[in-house]
Amino acid sequence: MSYQPRLKKEFNERIIPSLKEEYSYKNVMMVPRLKKIVISKGVGGAVADKKLIDHAIDELTIISGQKAIATISKKDVASFKLRKGMPIGAKVTLRSERMYEFLDRLITSALPRVRDFQGIKPSGFDGRGNYNLGVTEQIIFPEIDIDKVNKISGMDISFVTSANSDKEAQSLLTELGLPFKKTDFKSKLSEIKNTKTKNSVINDEAPVEEVKDEAPVEEVKDEAPVEEVKDEALSVEKSSEKENKTE
């Protein structure tokens, strides 16, 4: 009997019937499948140092188990000192058994080694059933020897599926084992509404205009006018002078 990866066997035996029942497909061929996984890596420093491309190709080859190739620039960019035809990155495309083997290693050994890992974001879908995952450090893969790493760098992992919508693709990848973050959109909306209502209540309780009306400045001036006090003092002085003259 020929070798069959664990995830491929699980897909044929368990995932296909569950997705067919969930979305009520009439035919087994309508069930979405994982077509290929593309691992790509950009190396901007390769313009000055071409050896960085060789390091990137070696790392992708070790991670994927398949020989990676260099990606070539398609046009000249003067601001980056880039010429057309220069190697500027590396990529590798995985299909069939190697694709399922890499996905199994990614789920079981690589993603749990990410610092403060809380699940992958479900916002990486492109609207056509494909998912893009960004990895910030290549050292999460156990195949990479940290002592031999030239520079800490990331990579992009693209999952290409035959699904017609993002919902179907997310169901497929979830069944395969990708740990998506569980976000409840209704709870988020309720939290936003609650914060808005709280802010409006606080504003209504202590409006600034009412506080100003309670203690107007004009009323304080009317209670003790300065001019009237001066007039009374002058009248008293004049009356005293008249009394002195009569005496």
What does the pLDDT read at residue 2? Answer: 76
Domain containing residue 78: 6-181
Using pLDDT thresholds of 50, 70 and 90, give the confidence band for residue 196. low
Instruction: Provide the pLDDT confidence category of residue 185 given band limits of 50, 70 and 90.
Output: very low
**pLDDT digit string (tens) for 116-134?**
888 888 888 888 889 998 8
pLDDT confidence bin for 216, thresholds 50/70/90: low
Number of H helices, E strands in the chain: 9, 5
- CATH number assigned to the domain comprising residue 28: 3.30.1440.10
Instruction: Answer yes or no: is 103 within a domain.
Output: yes
Find the length of the chain: 247
- Would you list the DSSP string of 86-121? -EEEEEEEE-HHHHHHHHHHIIIIIGGGSTT---B-
- 212 within some domain: yes
Among 13-17, 77-81, 119-123, 182-186, the range with the most confident prediction by mean pLDDT is 13-17
Within this chain, do residues 201 and 126 fall inside the same structural domain, yes or no? no
Mean pLDDT value of segment 182-207: 58
Instruction: Tell which of 165, 181, 197 closes a domain.
Output: 181
**Is 96 in contact with 104 (CB distance < 8 Å)?**
no
Q: Tell me, what's the pLDDT at 243?
A: 60
pLDDT the model gives residue 113: 87
Query: Average per-residue pLDDT in the chain?
Result: 78
How many domains, in total, are found in the chain?
Answer: 2
- Do 16 and 136 lie in one domain? The reply is yes
Q: In this structure, are 141 and 196 located in the same domain?
A: no
Please indicate, yes or no, if residue 1 is contained in any of the structural domains: no
pTM of the model: 0.68
Token representation of residue 75: 């046009």
**Residue that is last in its domain, among 148, 181, 214:** 181
What is the spatial distance between Cα 226 and Cα 242, in angstroms, rounded to a whole number?
Answer: 26
- Candidate from 30-39, 72-81, 174-183 with smallest mean pLDDT: 72-81
Predicted confidence at residue 159, as pLDDT, reads 93
Of 148 and 218, which is predicted with more confidence?
148
Domain ends where: 141, 164, 181?
A: 181
Query: Are 53 and 70 members of one domain?
Result: yes
pLDDT band at 201 (very low <50, low <70, confident <90, very high): low
pLDDT at 60 over 80: yes
